[in-house]
Structure 1
Amino acid sequence: MTTQTAALPAEAQGKLPRQIPYIIGNEACERFSFYGMRNILVPFLISSMLLAYLPEGAQRDTAAKDVFHTFVIGVYFFPLLGGWLADRYFGKYNTILWFSLIYCAGHACLALFESHATGFYTGLFLIALGSGGIKPLVVSFCGDQFDQSNKDKAKVVFDAFYWIINFGSFFASLLAPLFLRHFGPAVAFGIPGVLMLIATIIFWLGRRNYVNVPPSGSDPHAFFEVVKTALRTQVQEQGRPGLAVAVAGLAIAVGSLLLWSLHAIGLLSWWPESFGFVITACLALGVVIALGGIGTSMQLERARGAHPDAAVDGVRAVLRILIVFALVTPFWSLFDQKASTWIIQGREMVIPHDVSWWPSFLIQDAAQMQALNPMLVMLLIPFNNLVLYPALRRLGYQPTALRRMGWGIAISGVSWIVAGALQLWIDDGTQVSLAWQTLPYALLTFGEVLVSATALEFAYSQAPQAMKGVIMAFWYLTSTFGSLWVLLTNASVRNEAVVSHIASTGLSENAFLMFFFAGFAFLAAAAFALYARTYPMQDNYRTA
């Protein structure tokens, strides 16, 4: 395994690096393993012994959703750890390999401990740690394999990379529910574990061919170094109001965790029972980021001189992007519930085996409807780029990155209006065909393509080169906070006053929450549109 890009002989220039198939093969198997276990987690929990202490129905459904979204929070939090270890100490290859082994151990726990709560939840933690740890690294490791001689091949590989992610997700979403239905949880969770082991072996087999860029180590002008300088610098007769705001955020975060700890050991009774460690820790992190960002913005100019102007301007760009990301988090609260709330709804619907056009030989479970998402992604991206966006431009409407993201959030809200309407139909006692879920899935996936794919392009263009890694870490946190909103909502419906209010509307709890999340998305889309009007666009693509 080489440690830097060596000069290539003339006859080798422009060729596809021979190590790329190892990375693509690894990604295909890893994505099947992840989505295979993720997409059967909620239906398994609802019917498992792990939640047998709860009566069947709403309580068990809510508990299953809580476990699922807690898991998602972990998956999108641990990229911070993986990226930091790779950049500072171990490099991408070693970090990916070690976290992949942790990932395999997690899958083994799920297969072996299907009826043992401690073993099963340990497995979920290990998968969250392993999957999250490698998440920010594989794509950038793939990019490290290219240099100036063959950079024209990189776009082809990245297109193949994105396609293989959806390919693995499609077949995992289609097949894993069948494995659970026909062979039981040990096999259903074991097969993704075998795929993850194969993914790790494939990655390891390419070890002698990889270009391994050494870890960068400590950077004196990194994001957090500039932030620390800005907050600590004293200006005569001006005080440090930004530092006070940032310290207040840290104090609130530490205080919240302390109160939770006192409640956990029985020394505090008034702390909300439903606010467990995960909710408390995520809220604490959110307060630190929000008030730390505000405080830094107030004093950022004080870092000039101690750091290059480019580094200071880069931090300013990151802080502006963070506001955009914060307004995107409601989208993820809707999107990730397709693997929880929508599966639960689908279990109340009727699979239309009696109609000739329904593929009864294949679609036998509501969880399989999730396969629509990756299939539609593969169709919508070329449709948008080749048909929709050019047509809008001809009509005089420029589909800028911010406009696409704002519309994506709003369209996700429309998908939940449709899901809510289906729920009303179900609540009326009507037998509703599962085929109707195709419509909200299509709308939600359209929103995803407008938000997710566009956000990566937007963040890359807005952040200077030295800050792109920080931006990716914050981008993954948007999914963490999206699932936090779901946990908070689930916690609120355990409150008697909230339950009474829902009952007074004449809606079922499920229908009410669907319309609530739709409204949440519309509110976020409106706020996003207002902020987008004043956002100062940058162009930080590197020069040729």
Structure 2
Amino acid sequence: MPKQIPFIIANEGCERFSFYGMRNILTVFLMTSLLLSIPEELRKGEAKNVFHTFVIGVYFFPLLGGWLADRVFGKYNTILWLSLVYCAGHACLAMFEHNMTGFYTGLFLIALGSGGIKPLVASFIGDQFDQTNRSLAQKVFDAFYWIINFGSFFASLLMPVFLKHFGASVAFGIPGILMFIATFVFWLGRKKYVRVEPVSNDPHAFLVVIRSAILSQGATRTQSRPGLWLTFLGFALSIAGLFFIPQIGVVAALCSALVLVMGFGGVGAWMQLERVRGIHPDEAIDGVRNVLRLLVLFALITPFWSLFDQKASTWVLQADHMTKPEWFQSSMMQALNPALVMILIPFNNFVLYPLLARGGVKVTALRRMGTGIAATGLAWIVVGGLQLEIDGGDPITIVWQIIPYALMTFGEVLVSATGLEFAYSQAPISMKGVITSFWYLSVTVGNLWVLLANSSVKGEAVTAYIQSLGLSVTAFQMFFFAGFCLCAAGLFAMYARNYRMLDNYRQA
């Protein structure tokens, strides 16, 4: 095992405590303090919008961090510098608890810092391995994910208590201290790390090949260019989407525009990619095609994230209407998620997977992820059933939320923990940071689904239709998201059957 790994793992544990420490009390703080000037009937929706807009930012900035690391500064420098930005964001939250502008500035800096380093720490771990010891990499990625949840568990348990008894400045300040410790620990290992140098001015880089394919007129220079027109359509739709800024917000609208351009541009490039053989080497063209195949898988995972991240918003708000001990805060229930992760990761690796292997079932990364998406859909059927009981006026204990938490956490371990190593192994050597950032971009798209769903139910026609079904808006959305996720699981399974696995670890 590479000796530098403990520095990265310890850094991640402290950083995750800092992130989840502030994230898991954010909705409660918004509802009880920062948004008190908003009418009570609108406050819940506004708190959810602020929360999911922040999450969108966190998982959008990996694109910037991945590009800076792969093309300009390298992973180590980018992680270190953005970690300092991250620390500044925590300081803003602690200092501006009563100032909306200052507080939102802090959220922006945390989104930039946390999002920017998010794909890099995972891929930086992968860089410490090569073809000779890559069998250890999956174990380290599991340990990496375990330590994430170790930090998240204590943050979820303690920060609501600190918020209640010591106020927002302390509750947001403690995560800031942990982030400073994380940065210092990472810096301590600086002389031990394997550093893969950035590749700049590559004439056959991913985006260069994509651009060549979209603009190519073919060998005869007279062929039609459907890929180009499709890309133009993506740009047109993205511009049209900006008119929805009043409904979903600036951040969500801009991210939606980017996703449309990337989606239509990617399909357009795929259609014309063979035209640039001879202009670019076969290795570069095949690499682009493999990346585009990978991005389809990432797109099919987005419904999982739209459900998973609502445990910190929708599920917390549901818990407010459930019976519980007086000392227990609704947001403390989230501590159950990382606690279950810490149990399920070793259980799966040492009990479940070996048991399935002895039964003749091959547990591949893609099978894990498809099963995880389906398990998450089932969790939301259960939580929708709980909502029906609440809407019916029956008192229901918060203990019942353990069932959906267990199902969704099982899905999380199969999707998220597996996906980190999967994304790294499938990425070309020169694109490790960018591809891992695309993995995290799927979280952004998942949260976009949430904002779009929240926006759609505000219309009178949709609300009237939901009422005609005898359901509350909340229950209807829960069952809608469950069906959305189960459909995605089916599509993922069908697409995964023809996906060709790659092994892109560096040579020793």
Q: Which has the higher contact order (CA 8 A, sep 6+)?
A: 2
**1:132-531 mapped onto 2 (5 Å cutoff):** 132-145=115-128, 158-235=141-218, 236=220, 237-257=222-242, 260=243, 273-352=246-325, 364-531=328-495
Give the Cα–Cα distance (whole angstroms) in 2 for the partners of residues 523 and 148 of structure 1: 37
2:25: which partner in 1?
Answer: 40
1:30: which partner in 2?
Answer: 15
What is the percentage of aligned positions where both structures have the same residue?
A: 65
The secondary structure found in structure 1 opposite 2:252 is helix
Q: CA deviation at 1:458?
A: 3.7
Higher helix proportion = 2
Name whichever of 272-281 and 287-296 sits farther off.
Answer: 272-281
Give the Cα–Cα distance (whole angstroms) in 2 for the partners of residues 145 and 530 of structure 1: 34
Give the Cα–Cα distance (whole angstroms) in 2 for the partners of residues 332 and 436 of structure 1: 22
Q: CA deviation at 1:349?
A: 1.1
CA pair 483-407 structure 1, distance change in 2 beyond 3 A: same
Q: What is the CA deviation profile of residues 189-233 of structure 1, one whole-angstrom value per residue up to 9, with x for unaligned ones?
A: 111111112222333344455454432222222211111121222
Contact preservation (8 Å) 1:464, 1:540:
no
The secondary structure found in structure 2 opposite 1:135 is helix
**1:50-61 mapped onto 2 (5 Å cutoff):** 50-57=34-41, 59-61=42-44
Question: Rg larger in 1 or in 2?
Answer: 1
Q: CA deviation at 1:390?
A: 3.5
CA pair 515-307 structure 1, distance change in 2 beyond 3 A: same
Q: CA deviation at 1:183?
A: 1.1
Segments of 5+ residues of structure 1 without an aligned counterpart are: 1-14, 261-270, 354-359
Q: CA deviation at 1:466?
A: 4.0
Name whichever of 126-135 and 426-435 sits farther off.
Answer: 426-435
The secondary structure found in structure 1 opposite 2:74 is helix
CA pair 390-200 structure 1, distance change in 2 beyond 3 A: closer
1:263: which partner in 2?
Answer: none
Give the Cα–Cα distance (whole angstroms) in 2 for the partners of residues 506 and 369 of structure 1: 29
Q: CA deviation at 1:172?
A: 0.7
Query: Pairwise CA RMSD of aligned residues?
Result: 2.4
Give the Cα–Cα distance (whole angstroms) in 1 for the partners of residues 241 and 109 of structure 2: 26
Q: CA deviation at 1:406?
A: 2.0
Q: CA deviation at 1:154?
A: 6.0
1:5: which partner in 2?
Answer: none
Q: CA deviation at 1:145?
A: 4.9
Q: What is the CA deviation profile of residues 118-156 of structure 1, one whole-angstrom value per residue up to 9, with x for unaligned ones?
A: 111111001000101111222333444567898787666
Give the Cα–Cα distance (whole angstroms) in 2 for the partners of residues 451 and 149 of structure 1: 26
Give the Cα–Cα distance (whole angstroms) in 2 for the partners of residues 145 and 138 of structure 1: 11
Q: CA deviation at 1:242?
A: 1.1
Contact preservation (8 Å) 2:60, 2:255:
no
Q: What is the CA deviation profile of residues 303-329 of structure 1, one whole-angstrom value per residue up to 9, with x for unaligned ones?
A: 211222121111111111211111110
Contact preservation (8 Å) 1:253, 1:285:
yes
Give the Cα–Cα distance (whole angstroms) in 1 for the partners of residues 288 and 132 of structure 2: 32
Task: Select the residue among 78, 87, 93 that pairs with 2:76.
Answer: 93
Give the Cα–Cα distance (whole angstroms) in 2 for the partners of residues 390 and 157 of structure 1: 18
Contact preservation (8 Å) 2:65, 2:119:
yes
Q: CA deviation at 1:96?
A: 1.6
CA pair 351-332 structure 1, distance change in 2 beyond 3 A: same
Name whichever of 312-321 and 274-283 sits farther off.
Answer: 274-283
Segments of 5+ residues of structure 2 without an aligned counterpart are: none
Task: Select the residue among 104, 114, 135 that pairs with 1:131.
Answer: 114
